[in-house]
Amino acid sequence: MERFVIEGGHALEGSVRPSGSKNEALPVLAACLLSSEPITLTNLPDIVDVRVMLEVLEDLGCEVVRGPSGPDGWSVKITAAELRGPELEPELCKRIRASILFAGPMVARLGSVKLPPPGGDVIGRRRVDTHFLGLESLGAKLLIEDGYRLVSDGLVGAEIFLDEQSVTATENIIMAAALAKGTTTITNAACEPHVQGLCRMLVSMGAEISGIGTNTLRVTGAERLSGTDHRIGPDYLEIGSFMGLAAVTNSDVTITDVRPRELRMVLHTFARLGVEPEMGDDWLRIHPDQLLKVRQDLHGAIPRIDDAPWPHFPTDLMSIAITVATQCEGTVLFFEKMFEGRMFFTDSLISMGASIILCDPHRIVVVGRSQFYGTRLESPDVRAGMALLIASLAAKGTSEIYNIRQIDRGYERVDEKLRALGARIVRDEA
């Protein structure tokens, strides 16, 4: 098992480019099953979750040709000309939550799929009901056995109202609808940037999709979809993570390949904590000596930061924002609405010196500013692991972080990127 050893307390300086979006890469990899023609993906992040998805594709009979990693990230050419069987390999699926994204493409292409329960982060209950309710509306039949089996003798477009704005359920239904007969209307759909990226890829393959970027999508299915070339967009969650890192370490960091429109709520929320970047058309810079102070609400009320579906503040950046708040003057309430296990990582921040009150599984109060001290830590999930890495870089002394495979699931070569900025971080065997 590998670990990170970090000597904290050093300011960083330089430029960093985010990898391609993990949350876009995973659904577009699954969407490669919708066509028998070659599909080339560029700016693919070289992370654990992507590698597992490629293993699943190969196990299903896809030809996967990995290209070199260059200025535009990693490239992969995938040809799903002949697919083997409807069953996904259980051991592979245990390693990744995104295995459920194969449900829509496989039932659309093969008329059948057998899915073992998906793996992934342990951050609370994660419903799969919305996926199957949507696919059943298109004509698939669900059988619950030692997993989930979907069968269909032909999908047909339908009016679908999602009972929650689930990103992966929206993506599954879009992919299935792309090969369904007729038009599907999805209301209360998720519309995050990665959902939009998947839609743009499917349009380039021949699907008709209107309403991209809104909560109502209309998908007109095609008899067949062609191959395409698709560039995965920058990971706005990684951008937000590096913003938080630069602020708490008093660093001078420029982040390139930025889409400012995708960061509006992230910028607004960080501004409430005193983080004010300089912005360009496709870059942003965090200057040193940010005035990290909680901006109170009117009449001196303690502010609340909460998460919600796009375009609100994303749940995947809550752990980062909490870590930033520990280094701010003032008090702030965080309300995590989506996962009842995400806040438990704050015990680790408390062990480093943070002043945090855990009110219940969904709410904490952070009182800053606290001095972090290095200690032994373990990464519980992707985003909490990155938050602990940020805290370690700001701490006095040396920290050790174990179970770093969790961080590698979502952040490509993060230790190399940090060393390029001057961080004192080593990856070695525990």
Report the alpha-carbon distance of residue 319 to residue 383 in Å, rounded. 6
Report the alpha-carbon distance of residue 128 to residue 158 in Å, rounded. 20
Respond yes or no: is residue 121 known to be catalytic: yes
Report the alpha-carbon distance of residue 342 to residue 319 in Å, rounded. 8
Q: How many residues does the chain have?
A: 430
From the candidates 59, 72, 121, 282, give the one annotated as an active-site residue: 121
Helix pair angle (193-205, 167-177), 10° resolution? 10
- Omega within 30 of 0 (cis) for the link into 200: no
Residue 322 amino acid letter: I
Report the alpha-carbon distance of residue 416 to residue 168 in Å, rounded. 30
Task: Work out the widest C-alpha separation in the chain, in whole angstroms.
Answer: 65
What tokens does 135 get? Answer: 């696919």
How many other C-beta atoms lie within 10 A of the C-beta of residue 65?
A: 11
252 strand-pairing partners = 13
Question: Do 21 and 258 form a contact (C-beta atoms < 8 A)?
Answer: no
What tokens does 112 get? Answer: 């059948």
Report the alpha-carbon distance of residue 343 to residue 336 in Å, rounded. 8
**CA trace torsion 350, 277, 14, 238 (10° rounding):** 60
* CA nearest neighbour of 78 among 116, 120, 50: 50
Q: Which string of DSSP letters, residue by residue, matches 133-187?
A: HHHHHTT-EEEESSSEEEE-S--B--EEE-SS--HHHHHHHHHHHTTSBSEEEEE
Report the alpha-carbon distance of residue 271 to residue 9 in Å, rounded. 23
What are the residue numbers of the active site? 121
